Amino acid sequence: MYEHDVLVVGAGGAGLRAAIAAHEEGADVAMVTKLHPVRSHTGAAEGGINAALRDGDDWELHAYDTMKGSDYLGDAPAIETLATDSPEEVVQLEHWGMPFSREEDGRMSQRPFGGLSFPRTTYAGAETGHHLLHTLYEQVVKRGITVYDEWYVSRLAVTDHDRPEDRVCHGLVAIDIKSGEIEGFRARNGVVLATGGPGQVYDHTTNAVSCTGDGPAMAYRAGAPMEDMEFIQFHPTTLPSTGVLISEGVRGEGGVLYNALGERFMFERGYANNDGELASRDVVSRAELTEVNEGRGVNDEYVHLDMRHLGAERIVDRLENILHLAADFEGVDGLEEPMPVKPGQHYAMGGTETDEHGETCISGLYAVGECACASVHGANRLGGNALPELIVFGRRAGQHAAGRDLGEAKIGTGQVGEYEVGEVDTPVTPGEIGTPEDVVADGGESARTDGAGALVEAGPVLENAVETERERVAHLMGRDEGVQQAEIREMLQKSMTRNVNVFRNEEGLKQALRDIRTARELYRDVYVDDPSRTFNTDLIQTIEMRNLIDTAEAITLGALAREEFRGAHWRQEFQERDDENWLKHTLLSWNDGTPEVWYRPVHLEGREKTYEPKIRSY
């Protein structure tokens, strides 16, 4: 058993920032990550960090742009926190030595990005995430913060109270990937989940293979709801063959999109008459797919992104990494020819429901970064707003978990206060098919199986969780035959890409739910073929697979429930944004394995003003 004040799960940007903040508060903090910190997916972020740093810009403009971009589904307290805290955080990164791109006067450069009314995206070439990740990791090394790398966290240790809002998180269970040992980690103060996005539910994604939604799925099964999962961002410029991201920085610097007829369709076909290529990501993604669907795509699959006119010097100065990516992963020389691009899954706006301090409805359980939904991005995230989210909310969660008083949160969590229960008409009962043994189930109910009544003390809660996890792994490893996770994964990814993509309709979403049910049925028979305890990636992927199923179901269920067109969520049957009925968040609670759908109104009330929903035009 290991014991620390604060445990951070995941060591990307949000996790590292949380760990540094908790350490600065004087807490004994440790990070537990299934990779090594510098392998985290934050490193793949390219474009930049939004922060209102310069004359002519201010946090209110940043907040306004973000609210508009979110299609009025962001919560004002979270968005205003992002906008007010990010300048200080970005300058802090600079003071930690991050190699930002520079202006002639030696100050950090900023550039335009989609949906921004001011060029407020601070960047380091087209590899901003790499530098942010390494800079934060350096600070973790400097402080001597303990890192358990290549330890896979597979379960949270949460008390057994009936209502999630009464539960307390006392720690977690993790598998040492190298040795196969399964150990309990006690958190005296709190656990911060920073496990990143769930992009692997799709087969065409910019996300790393490690992005399997572990945090939200574990938290969900432990009682913390998932929020706004239907809002999946598709990035308009990914390479067709691999899903590798071509940064929005290319369009920010003046890159142009053409269809097969050579038309600059964003203008010529009227998709965004003012902003053109720099319209918001959802707008550009739909425009590209419409061009392809109407027969104006190149090779019926993609469109062209051209940056040649920017000139070699500027491209090399600001977008050099893009040249490498296009050459290495698509065989295209961006200086000589246009790059083929199409939309690909990129980001989950939804995640574990938290308040603006990063805390969930379970005491001592936090979630930050892409795995969380503090409701900063609402229905559509603006480019350049993910990295400030990591550092702003990473810091706050780290501080709060370490005991600092950040005042009372304005955003509520859990089923308290104003909420309404929902219902969705589905072709199958979602989630109903569990796994055969209780040991493979997860969350609060497993702790109840000891028959000695509810477990609420830290010690027994953790012991029970470790025991349950050891049995689960023994069960998966003990079988000699069954279905392998790769087969289920491929089926799930294909169905999600086919049915829960940029354009959605009822029939497709229902088909996806049927396929997810099939995935659950197959998962009952899942087994781990590799008998080794040493670095058993078969085992880890099999456990991840369970998280992918639960996450995919939440995404699809949310998409079926939301009968309107908002932000990234487009529905064939509902072509209007419906503020009267849908200015609210979709939430899903685990409810012993059968998701319970409920809603909470959006917080549009800021510190000084209330944000009035307006028509989004670009």
Partner 1 sequence: MSTQIQRTEEPEIETEDEPEAETESAGDRRRREKVDRETALRKEAEERLDESDDDVVIKVFRYDPEVEGKQEPRFDDFRVPMEKGTSVLDALMFARDHYDSSLTFRHSCRQAICGSDAFFINGRQKLGCKTQLSELETPIRIEPLPHQEVVKDLVVEMEHFYEQMHSVEPYFQTNDLPTGELEEQRQSRENREKVKMSTRCIWCAACMSSCNIAAGDEKYLGPAAINKAYRFAMDEREGEEMKDHRMRVLEQEHGVWRCQTQFSCTVVCPKEIPLTEHIQEVKREAVKRNLKFW
CB atoms under 10 Å from CB of 221, counted, come to: 23
Location of structure tokens 């308009």: 236
Backbone torsion region of residue 115, taken as left when φ is above 0, otherwise alpha when ψ lies between -120 and 50, otherwise beta: left
Cβ-based neighbours of 141, under 8 Å, separated by 6 or more? none
Min separation Cβ 174 and partner 1, Å:
18
Min separation Cβ 337 and partner 1, Å:
16
Min separation Cβ 542 and partner 1, Å:
9
Tell me the C-alpha distance between 13 and 435, whole Å. 34
In this complex, which beta carbon is closest to partner 1, that of residue 320 or of residue 438?
320
Contact (Cβ atoms closer than 8 angstroms) between residue 305 and residue 342? no
For helices 506-524 and 485-499, the axis angle rounded to 10 degrees is: 170
Alpha helices in 525-572 (DSSP H): 537-561
Min separation Cβ 430 and partner 1, Å:
23
Active site residue 281: yes
In this complex, which beta carbon is closest to partner 1, that of residue 256 or of residue 477?
477
CA distance to 216, 246, 345, per residue, from 276 (Å): 35, 17, 21
Min separation Cβ 322 and partner 1, Å:
12
Cβ-based neighbours of 444, under 8 Å, separated by 6 or more? 158, 159, 160, 161, 164, 167, 222, 223
Min separation Cβ 531 and partner 1, Å:
6
Residue type, 546: R
Location of structure tokens 């859990």: 414
Min separation Cβ 99 and partner 1, Å:
5
In this complex, which beta carbon is closest to partner 1, that of residue 289 or of residue 325?
325
In this complex, which beta carbon is closest to partner 1, that of residue 130 or of residue 155?
130
Q: Give the active site residue among 17, 281, 296, 381.
A: 281
Q: How far is CA 589 from the centre of its chain?
A: 18
In this complex, which beta carbon is closest to partner 1, that of residue 256 or of residue 496?
496
In this complex, which beta carbon is closest to partner 1, that of residue 489 or of residue 569?
489
Among the listed residues 599, 579, 576, 580, the one whose alpha carbon sits nearest the alpha carbon of residue 589:
599
Strand pairing category for 121-122 and 110-111: antiparallel
Among the listed residues 547, 567, 425, 555, the one whose alpha carbon sits nearest the alpha carbon of residue 500:
555
In this complex, which beta carbon is closest to partner 1, that of residue 102 or of residue 163?
102
For the annotated catalytic residues, the residue numbers are 281
